A and B are shown apart, each in its own frame.
Chain A
Amino acid sequence: MIAPAVELIDLRKNFDATQIIRGVSLAVPAGERHAIIGPNGAGKSTLFNLISGRLTPTSGTVQLNGEDVTGLPPHQINRRGLSRSFQVTNIFPRLSVWENVRCAVLWSLGHKYAFWRGIEGLADVRERTETILEAVELTGRRRVQAGVLTYAEQRALEIGITIAGGAGIMLLDEPSAGMSVAEAARAVALIRKVSEGRTLIMIEHDMGVVFDIADRISVLVYGQIIASDVPARIKQDSAVQAAYLGTAP
């Protein structure tokens, strides 16, 4: 049988005496769009940090396509086909939009630390960068310094950097956070487009966005997944309603 794209087995993370992630097990099959929801402080971003290598788990394992990647540094995990975006925009502010995306493209096309060849002559890099900019609709802003983009544009660039390496697994941390309704709708369309044929795990607070995109939803409460199912059943789950949606059971 094919291994899941992402599999977490009894993952735990303590900060000193405080348990933040308390035994999370989750399998996300390849090609699934998976949403993680839960109240503030449930540990959603911590979970992403554990999967992507930003934090090392206290115990438990993280597997990508059947390979154990627990404890590897972020760049090693990225090279194994996982990329992520951040809740707080995390771009290269002094570089142009074009350079931001180009930097995110370089490693996956095998150019690594090359200091013996010019960057402008790399046709593959140029083409991929153009494609990505086209996809996130920033082609017209390519020459602008990334730090002076509007918030929504920076969020789009954030997604552009995330998809630029062509990773098979994408983690998006609140891609529509802070956006207006119209901007969020565009973000949803963008996410739908760029996650085509990939595995997507996203943290999202906007339930409209979640139910619009997700094939399956996991509900994280106080460091544990209390339910993981298709959207229709998550809506009716009484434990979820009690813990998260705040309605009486």
Chain B
Amino acid sequence: MSDVASDAVKVPAPGGLSSAGPAAVVRLAAPWTALAVAFSILPTIFTSGSALTMLSMMGIMIVFALSYNMLLGETGLLSFGHAVYYGLGGFLAVHAMNTVIHDALPVPLLVIPLVGGFSGLLFGIIFGSVSTRRAGTVFAMISLGLGELVASSSLILRGFFGGEEGVSTNRTKLLHVFGLNFGPQIQVYYLIAGWCLLCMVAMYALTRTPFGRMCNAVRDNPERVQFVGYNPRTLRFIAFSLAGLFAGIAGALAAINFELVNSAEVGAGQSGLVLLAAYIGGIGSFMGPVIGAVLVTWLEVMLSDVTDVWQLYFGLLFIGMVMFAPNGIAGLLMMHAPLWQARAYGSMLRLALAYLVALVPALVLLAGLILVIEMTYHLTVKGSEGTTISVFHVALDAASTIPWVAAAVLTFGGFWLFRLTWPVVGAAWHDAFAHGRAK
């Protein structure tokens, strides 16, 4: 997967740069083949219905987050309204499906994502022609405004957006091909997986075109781009339109998955979610948003099951990443790439042990924080329901002293111990890289 996860600095191979040989084709195709195999066998490992639903949601989020990163990571455009293209893609896909069902048109469900893609592209072209004239803060503000505009009209134009309950459809009523009716979730999973893979390949390929490289240039230095003959506005506009296309496909996949689209899909919450996913995963590399999409979807589903304030944890994670790992999870992983390339496995093992030593007090600290957050939330917001809560399957009385003392001990003790492990990790890191260089 290392070829896919190449860093923002695309480094040409030494010597002959020609990539026409069969070896190059294999090298290029191998990670995608591996991914295709992984997508195929995942449902045989995670067989439960809820797992299948989650995998489907991850596939959708991967496409959405990668489309967002075409703006943020590749072109340097910070959008606060990317859900507009996702949501409108979803709405038009749902309407297209209902029209197909109503008129009994010979259109299979498999091609419905194209409707979403065209819708996203169309609205990307319309809104992009306005918003991409400027980059930076101006662009961000316009994207926010357009997002609010569409979100508020979604509540006014009830005929198209279906008001608060949204627009529903029935994915099984379209033309059946290959004997697929898309009733069972497993069939929907494979539809999403297929489209996800297709979009991933397409978006990766885009980064390796003259246009894709100039997007990186415009991100780095829009002024210099002008003096090598390119119009930065045109580059931003094309990037924006194409990002709309892929967001629209993701929206249509969501419409197919849930058989329902409502106004929340075009709203600021969805726009924020994709920003979080891309950023937490890491906007500096292609695989970053993919990692982020998987993690954020998993957290969204799992955390919302166990706690009411899951969004708070989400926000804390985001703040933590911005402060301590601005290159995201992919960035953290890439820091270790030199060790891997130097085959310094011994150093890596010792580093892993050091991480493990630091992880234990970090988890203690985390447990303390969770205890504080949950008890505070319970006392302040849900006080009327009594003071007994269950944290980690342990019943506690949030109004008594002992849990608070325990929380304080865990938090401060955990932090104190965690602090003690930092030099250990630092030394292991230093040794590993000194050793790696010596090799």
A residues neighboring B (CB under 8 Å):
52-54, 73-75, 78-79, 83-84, 86, 90-96, 98-99, 102-104, 106-108, 111-123, 125-126, 142-143, 145, 161, 164-165
Contacts and interface: CB of A to CB of B under 8 A. Distances in A.
A73 B11 CA distance: 32
B226 A74 contact: yes
A52 B226 CA distance: 10
A49 to B, nearest CB: 11
A94 B216 CA distance: 9
Contacts of B20: 121
Contact of A78 (B17, B210, B229): B229
Given A74-B227, A92-B216, 14 more contacts: A74-B226, A75-B231, A84-B227, A90-B227, A95-B10, A95-B216, A99-B213, A106-B213, A111-B210, A113-B210, A113-B238, A115-B206, A115-B211, A122-B210
Contacts of B216: 92, 94-95, 99, 103
A125 B214 CA distance: 14
Interface in B218-240: 219-221, 223-231, 234-235, 238
Contacts of A78: 226-229
A125 B213 CA distance: 13
**Chain B interface residue number, banded:** 35 or more
Interface in B99-142: none
Nearest to A125: B210
Interface string B231-264: 1001100100010000000000000000000000
Contact of B214 (A52, A103, A117, A120): A103
A102 to B, nearest CB: 7
Nearest to A126: B17
A115 B213 contact: no
Contacts of B17: 120, 126
15 contacts: A74-B226, A78-B227, A79-B229, A90-B221, A95-B10, A96-B10, A98-B11, A99-B217, A106-B210, A113-B211, A115-B209, A115-B242, A119-B213, A121-B18, A125-B210
B38 interface: no
A95 B238 CA distance: 21
B234 A95 contact: no
Contact of A83 (B211, B227, B230, B231): B227
Contact of A75 (B14, B210, B212, B229): B229
Interface of B: 8-12, 14, 17-20, 205-206, 208-214, 216-217, 219-221, 223-231, 234-235, 238, 242
A115 B70 CA distance: 13
A6 B11 CA distance: 38
A107 B214 CA distance: 10
Nearest to B13: A120
Given A91-B221, A113-B238, A102 B211 contact: no
A118 to B, nearest CB: 6
A92 B230 CA distance: 14
A121 B230 CA distance: 21
B329 to A, nearest CB: 19
Contact of A94 (B8, B225, B231): B8
B228 A161 contact: yes
B92 to A, nearest CB: 24
A29 B221 CA distance: 32
Nearest to B10: A99
A103 B229 CA distance: 10
B9 A112 contact: no
Nearest to A85: B227
B406 to A, nearest CB: 47
Given A111-B210, A114-B211, A119-B209, A104 B228 contact: yes
B216 to A, nearest CB: 6
A143 B226 contact: no
B226 A106 contact: no
Contacts of A143: 11-12, 14
B210 A94 contact: no
